[in-house]
Structure 1
């Protein structure tokens, strides 16, 4: 593999079809300024999420793992003005920065940022009879990915698209003897996905500025 080549090609694609405006650029910069990890999706992945949202005509979106709201902004820009995004962030500091970035993007009316454990928020949404979502993006802590997905199914309808990020882990998912809990989490998730009769799904490998990983894509039956 040639990571430098992957990054250059990613930059080429970004320049052509996924350029960032000042809001997105400042959102990424805000992570450094706030000593937060630079683990947002890339611009090309942000544009990919937008295309998926447009293809399924999404109006209601659920995101697990807000970080600085970079992916949140990409996705919210792809839904109609009367659409809604509920995004969940565990870390209060991250949520504070995300809220500022959402406000700068002029999207506060469309984005409902909830702070807390994703598992707790999912259970609350189910208990309160939250209307089903058209699109769900899971990009949170990896060990409970399987549980997140199964709860997300309860908040879906036939045709809901669910995308889960970081499910290849630079190929480490092939290591059956790994002691990395994140890898174990996605191994368990990938196996569940393969045997889940409620969805039609696949996994795609990705390379680029964030090197080698992958996304799981599922459509609820």
Structure 2
């Protein structure tokens, strides 16, 4: 008669051990470790909101500034995505209401067939912003790059930032770190799958933003100083 093989529990008894510590000291240390991990994970988001909360405004109550910075948010068939279109509409509204004088559009033009800033410029022109009042940053590859380049390349000292509500705190925090006296307008958006994805992404992006604020890395591309903002401000407003 064939001898019966032992079951998994008999062959690997160690696998059935409970991971929870048996001693009270071990349990206390585990709870403390979990609490420390939670605090560490939430600290960057807490920092962002502390720095930015009082500077998030609406189009009606945001302080007037000469420059608005609009961050890229993707294209669809060469045109601004719905999320980017909402940002640009808000910037055009700020311009019409006299809250801003110039719009700096900053986005990705890392390859020949993908040009966010030119698409953003076209959209703004279609919505009443004169071409001479629009300045393009073609190397705004992420939020930190856009903020640093706005300050160092375009000479922006004070600005209104325009982006979605889930992104506005990070944008304000990073631009203030880069040396810009920034207020922000969080654009209303339909809470679809993209909105929830963006909100979830910000939880992880907060950690990267905190590191950028501490170490202040150079952007992917810096380049020479540009006079686009100065020239746009000097242009006669229609």
How high is the TM-score relative to the length of structure 1? 0.43
Which protein is richer in strand relative to its size? 1
Q: Larger relative contact order (C-alpha < 8 A, sep ≥ 6)?
A: 2
Which protein is richer in helix relative to its size? 2
